[in-house]
Amino acid sequence: MRIVIAGGHGQIALRLERLLSAGGHEVTGIIRSDGQSDDLRDAGAEPVVLDLESAAVDEVADVLRGAGAAVFAAGAGPGSGIPRKDTVDRGAAVLFADAAERAGVRRFVVVSSMGADSGHEGDEQFDVYLRAKGAADDDVRARSGLDWTILRPGSLTNDAGTGLVDLQASTGRGMVARDDVAAVIAELLDTPATAGLTLELVGGSVPVVVAVRDVAGN
């Protein structure tokens, strides 16, 4: 299957690209800078340089056309400033969803955040981030043209993945390794029965394959 990842140079995305390419998938990663291309190639992905803050929906749809699945893993990142929480964490996600529908790509996985809520209160940068992610999630979940899954990881670490997680509609707060987040996304993509679910993810005691199987169809 061909899979297109928005935010292809992110820490989770690079891990996911390695997993998917090792599993025989054809992976395309959308990036903002050509200087990131070699890292994607090293991970087994084809880089496409396209700025999702300024691209037209047809440009993004051209990249997505022919894919079997799309993953939104982009984010403005720490220190990016409050305005870019809206243009990237919300706006780019909505654009990517628009483009997926236009290109006929139904399977759509969003890497969101635990606590994402369009009604979240507060004026600090993280508050704005949670509102933006929540608004993006709300937009995607309202689309009948997408077989979406929203994944909301807890606090991310660079620890080596254990392959053991807690994946449920509600887990409570906790830490999770980026390795394990990538492994869960790869398994979600291979499990169509997880469409229509919003899931929280933290480290736990259940193997990834079992955790995804347990939530599938719920």
> pTM here?
0.95
Tell me the residue ranges of DSSP E strands in 43-130: 45-49, 69-72, 107-111
Among candidate residues 72, 96, 108, 129, the one labeled active-site is 129
Residue-wise pLDDT tens for the chain (218 aa)? 999 999 999 999 999 999 999 999 999 999 999 999 999 999 999 999 999 999 999 999 999 999 999 999 998 666 666 667 778 889 999 999 999 999 999 999 999 999 999 888 887 888 888 999 999 999 999 999 999 999 999 999 999 999 999 999 999 999 999 999 999 999 999 999 999 999 999 999 999 999 999 999 88
Which tokens hold the place of 144? 């009948």
Tell me if residue 115 is catalytic. Answer: no
172 phi-psi bin (left φ>0, alpha ψ -120 to 50, beta other): left
Residue 118 pLDDT? 87
Residue 122 pLDDT? 82
Residue 80 pLDDT? 62
Give, in degrees to the nearest 5, the angle at Cα 41 between 38 and 42: 85
Q: Is 2 within 8 Å of 26 (Cβ atoms)?
A: yes
The torsion defined by the Cα of 122, 123, 129 and 131, in degrees rounded to 10, comes to 50
In the chain, % helix, strand, coil (3-state, to 5) comes to 40, 25, 35
Report how far residue 188's alpha carbon sits from residue 216's, in angstroms, rounded to the nearest whole number. Answer: 9
Report how far residue 186's alpha carbon sits from residue 182's, in angstroms, rounded to the nearest whole number. Answer: 6
